Structure 1
């Protein structure tokens, strides 16, 4: 570790204190000019609670909520399988940032407090009722200007004034730079950075512990009971990280390779034993990535355009997951003036990469990186995309009153950027999160009055229904990296959808306790059935799998987690994989975890990696793989 210890707690301790928001569900008024949906008025619904159901003992350091607070839960985003997409919102769901959220123009509004882009809950570690741990004082603020430096500080100074005029309704999110001392020494001036080699090296160390007995902890399956999944491997961090830790991206799957990106490298591991197949070094920090790969097994990462504090996340690299080879490079162009401060978020739809930030949006060919379209820079401007089988764009329109934002959701042609249909959100309501792109299911929020609701659309963009949640509290979770004046629409867990039904997890009655999955009819918006978690911990839908809901039930202190399916007709969850009780605590230590399941293999990986000192840094587990 090249810097002072991180403020983020290692492992699974130190979750934020639970508190009840005062927000209420109140579905938005009907779309202007549209007839009301053919169903009874929705029943009030309590919006997602903040910060979430898992209460854990305080750790040695005070928990730092991800600046993105989006629902990335104990369940994190669904990374990693190439298409086809199964009614899952695609890409981005990236990782939480290292610093505590700074207040923006919508300061302190309940379920959206500390959450860039609004919506459900903060990411934090898994829920198990661990023994009490004595709380220590938080780590000191790092020297050198603290959180407000360079470009981020400028955002603070001009943010509110600019939001009065831009009309995009995007949120101001503040945080600190992660640049370590080594980065500063390497940067002689400006943003210049050495050109990366962009050539992967083959093989290398195994990077961790194998299920067969290698590694410090010996045989990882020594305590495995009958019926429990086998641990294929556990990877360990082997990189000297900056002082505050780093975001980690992936895992992505491509054939017999599972890939992760972290700090200044992208690594492909064997799905069988975790040995490194290739390592791709990059000269600057990886700062963004697509959540899902393309059908051809390609992803796009964003890397900073320099090593200085002023470096921006503008340089793109397309990477072949099977070989680690870089296919093409592209540098994004920001807007002018205030719009130049934005970060871009990335998504894939078919053969198109969508990149959007405040003031600028683009579509690029995944084949060769050529620009396919550029979004409008005047009037209603897209600020975020959601990908998968369809490409959706959330756009902000000019307004004279920033308390009454004007936003719209559009399906756009992924090859041309032209809109196929437009859903105009009621005045004062903002596009929040896209839970599914096919069918289209998304949430709206009204920040000033602290309201939140879920809407389903027909194929032509007209309103299909508004979800009627009754008195339940719900907890969809979405995660993301630190984004300046942009927004991630996707990457939510705790939700899933098929063509007829929307599935959403309720908040547990007690932190980390059991909850339910509720199924809603997409034509009426009414609840059809409820499925209890079936254990002592919380269950969260991940996506659809073979016509059923794929869900993950979190581990407890003594019991391993469970991967289960729920039939579309309801009923109790059916166990697909039971993870080992003997390694429940290890399973619980992944911070803001990202998960992917494919063909009998389940991968869980940390969304952010940090530690208190050099020794712990190199003993930090970064990914765990199970097999049936």
Structure 2
């Protein structure tokens, strides 16, 4: 199961002694909430709070479509008045025929087909963290600040049904001690459990009703973050004599009881940076200016370490895209299946027409199997493997539309699955460092952060775009 994928270089080499890093409640939705997208008179608004209706712009782009090009289904503006420094955008989450984004103090649900507003929910305070995935039935628990002061803590939780936009339970949890108070928050959902990780501990709650499931675990090793998905994989930090939290572990933990099911001890001096995938389990590790990627078996045993050679790779994770909420499972530019890990190389910074490659690594040996080049002047970003083929986002270039491309297990030349219109290339290129979601023949681009120089810039900045047949 792919989770969503920077680094300097891979650690390389190995020996007979071990290859690099080694094993061993309130129900009040809060003031100002609107769960039905209404205007207060029972009539649904058909757009968000943005200053322009962009349907005419989308229609004009579609009028210039060439043969075989998909439609620009819809465009959306930011639509929310933001503070001076802008706001992170969380999501998107797709539930049925609804796509949801969250930023500042507002959650908004749109129709996937035409971008019309389905519902809007205003939080009582600013959003500060969110899981990368929702539950199977479309519920999510969001991190929000307690209060509206500049020094408000990120220590409140709000459950929301993403299908209806209705708020459920809300509660606060304690953050105490220097490690905890200064730590970023990492959230994940495993089944009906939501975990809230920090440097020194993780608290777990039941999504359905907010019941506390577990907190600090026995011993001196505590999880500081999980990866969302059906299996609860945790990054754990162990206190040392120097209290520097440098000894870390990968663990599988029962998401209901907190019981540790197995442990993989990371080589001393290395830290867990991200979970690129949980099935197969692919872990990104860091050490000062070094980077390594290891693959573990289902029971936590060492399987391989990727040998990256001299290439520079272009994965971007939580800290690269967001200022708050450093989840461990929200990377761009990486995909994996049971045989292969795919990474995108970084295009040259000085190249006016940047391009890159996708590299396929064998999970059993860690060595590169093949490379596939992106079309000239465009870049490829792995998304996931589906039906044995790698799906990738092809970024728009100068006078070149983007889209979704695929590669077979043996590599070769990328084949287009969904071709975005060339007429929309300039609009699409404005979505740099954006999250990409592809589902049911539709591709969605969502900015990871919205900001502007003037007061209304962030409201009118394009925040979402949808393409499809």
TM-score norm. by structure 1 comes to 0.66
Q: In structure 1, how many angstroms separate the alpha carbons of the residues matched to 2:273 and 2:250? A: 10
Deviation of 1:208 (Å): 8.5
Deviation digits for residues 578-623 of structure 1, max 9, x if unmatched?
Answer: 1111111111112531121110111101111111213433321111
SS at match of 1:585: helix
SS at match of 1:584: helix
Aligned CA distance change for structure 1 residues 617 and 35 (closer, same or farther; 3 Å): closer
**Equivalent residues in 2 for 1:203-222 (5 A)?**
203-207=44-48, 214-215=55-56, 219-222=60-63
Residue from 107, 111, 118 that aligns with 1:270: 111
Deviation of 1:522 (Å): 0.8
1:317 touches 1:327 (CA, 8 Å); kept in 2? yes
1:461 aligns with 2:285: no
Aligned CA distance change for structure 1 residues 198 and 463 (closer, same or farther; 3 Å): same
Q: Which residue of 1 aligns with 2:333?
A: 494
Q: In structure 2, how many angstroms separate the alpha carbons of the residues matched to 1:217 and 1:459? A: 46
Higher strand share: 2
SS at match of 2:437: strand
- Of 598-607 and 395-404, more deviation after overlay is shown by 395-404
Q: In structure 2, how many angstroms separate the alpha carbons of the residues matched to 1:24 and 1:231? A: 38
Q: In structure 2, how many angstroms separate the alpha carbons of the residues matched to 1:404 and 1:268? A: 40
2:143 touches 2:156 (CA, 8 Å); kept in 1? yes
Deviation digits for residues 282-325 of structure 1, max 9, x if unmatched?
Answer: 12112211111211111221111101012111111111111001
Aligned CA distance change for structure 1 residues 472 and 216 (closer, same or farther; 3 Å): closer
1:208 touches 1:235 (CA, 8 Å); kept in 2? no
Deviation of 1:509 (Å): 4.4
1:432 aligns with 2:273: yes
Deviation of 1:28 (Å): 8.4
Q: Which residue of 1 aligns with 2:35?
A: 200
Aligned CA distance change for structure 1 residues 509 and 216 (closer, same or farther; 3 Å): closer
Residue from 3, 6, 10 that aligns with 1:25: 10
Q: Which residue of 2 aligns with 1:362?
A: 203
1:233 touches 1:273 (CA, 8 Å); kept in 2? yes
Aligned CA distance change for structure 1 residues 565 and 208 (closer, same or farther; 3 Å): farther
Aligned CA distance change for structure 1 residues 564 and 550 (closer, same or farther; 3 Å): same
Q: Higher relative CO (CA 8 A, sep ≥ 6), structure 1 or 2? A: 1
SS at match of 2:181: helix
Aligned CA distance change for structure 1 residues 551 and 218 (closer, same or farther; 3 Å): closer
Aligned CA distance change for structure 1 residues 378 and 323 (closer, same or farther; 3 Å): same
1:360 touches 1:377 (CA, 8 Å); kept in 2? no
Q: Which residue of 2 aligns with 1:243?
A: 84
Deviation of 1:552 (Å): 0.9
Aligned CA distance change for structure 1 residues 571 and 24 (closer, same or farther; 3 Å): closer
Q: In structure 1, how many angstroms separate the alpha carbons of the residues matched to 2:58 and 2:326? A: 41
Deviation digits for residues 140-191 of structure 1, max 9, x if unmatched?
Answer: xxxxxxxxxxxxxxxxxxxxxxxxxxxxxxxxxxxxxxxxxxxxxxxxxxxx
Deviation of 1:347 (Å): 0.8
Structure 1 stretches of 5 or more lacking a match? 1-19, 43-193
Deviation of 1:339 (Å): 2.4
Q: In structure 1, how many angstroms separate the alpha carbons of the residues matched to 2:49 and 2:442? A: 18
Q: In structure 1, how many angstroms separate the alpha carbons of the residues matched to 2:317 and 2:439? A: 21
Q: In structure 2, how many angstroms separate the alpha carbons of the residues matched to 1:553 and 1:318? A: 35
1:389 touches 1:438 (CA, 8 Å); kept in 2? no
Residue from 195, 217, 222 that aligns with 1:381: 222
Aligned CA distance change for structure 1 residues 578 and 367 (closer, same or farther; 3 Å): same
Aligned CA distance change for structure 1 residues 283 and 422 (closer, same or farther; 3 Å): same
Deviation of 1:225 (Å): 1.2
Residue from 464, 475, 495 that aligns with 2:314: 475
- Of 585-594 and 506-515, more deviation after overlay is shown by 506-515
Deviation of 1:335 (Å): 3.0
Aligned CA distance change for structure 1 residues 464 and 363 (closer, same or farther; 3 Å): same
Deviation of 1:430 (Å): 1.0
Deviation digits for residues 379-429 of structure 1, max 9, x if unmatched?
Answer: 112111112132111111122457892111111112221111111111111
Q: In structure 2, how many angstroms separate the alpha carbons of the residues matched to 1:337 and 1:616? A: 37
Structure 2 stretches of 5 or more lacking a match? 1-5, 22-28, 38-43
SS at match of 2:251: strand
1:361 touches 1:374 (CA, 8 Å); kept in 2? yes
Deviation of 1:199 (Å): 4.5
